[in-house]
Amino acid sequence: MQRFSFIAVLAVLLLTLPGQADLPHELRTGVAGHAFDHLGNLGEQADAAAASGANIIYATGLGGLGYSGLPSTEVLKQQRRNSAEYVGRAKSRGIRLALGYLCATSIVKLETFDRNWPPEFRAQFRTSPAEWRQQDRDGKPLPSWYGGDYQPACMNNPDWRSYEKFMVRQQIESGHDGIFFDNPTVHPQGCFCPHCMNKFSLFLRREGTQVRDNSLPALRQMAIQRTNDFLRFRCTIARDFLAEMRRFARSLNSRALITCNNSLNSVEVFYSQCRNYGYNIFEMSQAEDLVVVEDMSSQPRTLPNGKSLEYGPTYEQLHAIGHGKPVVAVTIADADYHTSPNLVRLAMAEAAAHNASYLSWPTWPENMRERMQTAIRPQADFLRDNNPLLNDTRARRDVVLFLPFRRWLETNTCATSLIAAELTRANIQYGVLCEEFFKAQALKGAKTVLVERIAVLNPQELRVLDSFKRKGGRVISADRRDWLGELQRTLPKPAIVLSGPATLRAVVRDQRVRTIVHLLNLSLQKTSSFEDRVTPASDVRVTCRVPAARVRSVRALTADTTASSGTLPFSMRRDGKESVLEIIVPRLEIATILLIE
């Protein structure tokens, strides 16, 4: 596994995410503009995606045919030609990558699923599609949690994997650059089919557990009795499926990209989706080229009651468990797949501030299309033009927040998510470390470590913290009543302080000779699917520490036409080898970058 590396720079903790230098250029922050090209019956919207600034599309391609069981051979050939022509047209309009859609588990209309299969195709499989389904503890087919005509296939079934490889080939050979797998899920009851039971036995034996009876009834009983082991095993099924699909895809195209819907429909299910459906991002990200999540409610904005919503804390946690893979998120409001233009622009800026990318849904009604494209495009162009400021940066970290991700086995509630939200609201600059990377070296240079409770730490982690404290570090437990106040008192020299409305957010990142401050204004309200209201902030005072003895300029960069931009006056005082700057931003509309050089 890749490791996070922390270094001290002028007594401030900096974090560099691994693997960024090896990223395909198209996936780099700011360069990448992700978009679904389909919604319901509206498909092939590459033109709208490109016009709004997207350059990576998630295309249906032949995916719909895949989960419905394939048409006749001639129709399939024609659909392949049509798909290849569509991808070609999309790329002529500026799309750089097209990922083809496939469902990792869905069989729709089982009774007709294999009706059009020619004999030579059917001969590739040892069993019928009815036997590919996930099974309960008695070996009976499990119903789909989606209802209707859906039947859940088992990702461990070798015939289903062969069928999925056939579909991967169709998508890759029709011009797609990779695959987006939807619904890589395990039934909430777990799958007890023979293939899963055999792999569960192997899972246990690899960990040193003796399995004396490998009969199917005995293994099913063991799965029932060893609840936590079976839960952990279920969370490896999608990972192993994705790994095999990736190997196969790369045998067809050495640069093929594989990702999936990692779900995370709301921030509250960070743990529970592991328990309920086997969506374990820590596991799946090991086999993915990028991590894609679909949030249905956390579009950054302010509600009519004054409460602010945001995705920044979740981005930080996703980086902690994502094994250095690019993070991509679609965040929508109230499960409304249409998002007003300024809310899209804010979400794009928020993602970029957290070294991530936003995934849009440019599937607008025709009468709204041109207005939406025109309004969103400037933010996409701005991020792309300024992508050198968004990549190869180190995030400023005054605090390290420990994420014991293993606790998904114990609880549906992730306390770390709640703590991260508090830190973000207070504009405290922090990094998140999960247990896999919680080592003494990773804490080098840190002044404070924040944990949800000391009791959740294991002996090795306690030893790491004991060593950290002996070197002068502070450890704060968030189960104390005034933990946030205590934390703030331990940070006499915070990286940044904002004076302005409570809806303002700041993210500080550094490069070798400059500091980049992302300022976000959450004071945007959704008034309809296509309309919003922005409340700009005036005379925002920014106090920022920079690891430099001299600063020659501060510039405001923004895509917002009525916001302050260009060179800003500032005052500066020396504090040891650092400089402390006072900056006034006269008008902050949606998002602004302060470039300090």
Which residues are CB-neighbours of 108 under 8 A, at least 6 positions away?
67, 68, 69, 149, 150, 151
Residues 451 and 504 in one domain: no
Which residue bears the tokens 């995934």?
Answer: 359
CATH of the domain at 515: 2.60.40.1180
Domain boundary residue, one of 220, 239, 256: 256
Which pLDDT tens digits describe the chain residue by residue (597 residues)?
333 333 333 333 333 333 444 678 999 999 999 999 999 889 999 999 999 999 999 999 999 999 999 999 999 999 999 999 999 999 999 999 999 999 999 999 999 999 999 999 999 999 999 999 999 999 999 998 888 899 999 999 999 999 999 999 999 999 999 999 999 999 999 999 999 999 999 999 999 999 999 999 999 999 999 999 999 999 999 999 999 999 999 999 999 999 999 999 999 999 999 999 999 999 999 999 999 999 999 999 999 999 999 999 999 999 999 999 999 999 999 999 999 999 999 999 999 999 999 999 999 999 999 999 999 999 999 999 999 999 999 999 999 999 999 999 999 999 999 999 999 999 999 999 999 999 999 998 788 999 999 999 999 999 999 999 999 999 999 999 999 999 999 999 999 999 999 999 999 999 999 999 999 999 999 999 999 999 999 999 999 999 999 999 999 999 999 999 999 999 999 999 999 999 999 999 999 999 999
Specify whether the CB–CB gap between 204 and 229 falls below 8 A: yes
Residues 95 and 110 in one domain: yes
Domain boundary residue, one of 425, 456, 489: 489
Measuring CA to CA, which residue among 587, 586, 589 is closest to residue 524? Answer: 589
Amino acid at 515: T
Q: Residue 191: which domain range?
A: 68-256
User: ∠ at Cα 434 (447, 455), nearest 5°?
Assistant: 80
Domain count, the chain: 3
Residues 427 and 501 in one domain: no
Whether residue 31 lies inside any domain: the answer is: no
Which residue bears the tokens 């990209």?
Answer: 257
Measuring CA to CA, which residue among 573, 502, 574, 575 is closest to residue 540? Answer: 502
Specify whether the CB–CB gap between 368 and 42 falls below 8 A: no
Whether residue 343 lies inside any domain: the answer is: no
Q: What's the confidence (pLDDT) of residue 424?
A: 98
Whether residue 196 lies inside any domain: the answer is: yes
Whether residue 200 lies inside any domain: the answer is: yes
Specify whether the CB–CB gap between 546 and 581 falls below 8 A: yes
Q: What's the confidence (pLDDT) of residue 199?
A: 98
Whether residue 280 lies inside any domain: the answer is: no
Measuring CA to CA, which residue among 394, 445, 403 is closest to residue 423? Answer: 403
Residues 115 and 76 in one domain: yes
Residues 475 and 504 in one domain: no
Residues 218 and 73 in one domain: yes
Task: Give the sign of the dihedral formed by CA 277, CA 280, CA 285, CA 287.
Answer: negative
Residues 480 and 561 in one domain: no
Rounded-to-integer distance, Cα 20 and Cα 63, Å: 30
Whether residue 322 lies inside any domain: the answer is: no
Whether residue 319 lies inside any domain: the answer is: no
Residues 447 and 511 in one domain: no
Q: What's the confidence (pLDDT) of residue 456?
A: 97
Residues 462 and 484 in one domain: yes
Cβ-based neighbour number of residue 278 at 10 Å? 26
Residues 211 and 79 in one domain: yes
Residues 94 and 228 in one domain: yes
Domain boundary residue, one of 489, 509, 525: 489
User: ∠ at Cα 180 (166, 272), nearest 5°?
Assistant: 120
CATH of the domain at 434: 3.40.50
Rounded-to-integer distance, Cα 509 and Cα 392, Å: 10
Specify whether the CB–CB gap between 540 and 519 falls below 8 A: yes
Whether residue 128 lies inside any domain: the answer is: yes
Which residues are CB-neighbours of 474 under 8 A, at least 6 positions away?
447, 448, 449, 490
Q: What's the confidence (pLDDT) of residue 1?
A: 35
Biggest CA pair distance of the chain:
80
Bridge-partner residues for 475, per DSSP?
449
Residues 477 and 522 in one domain: no
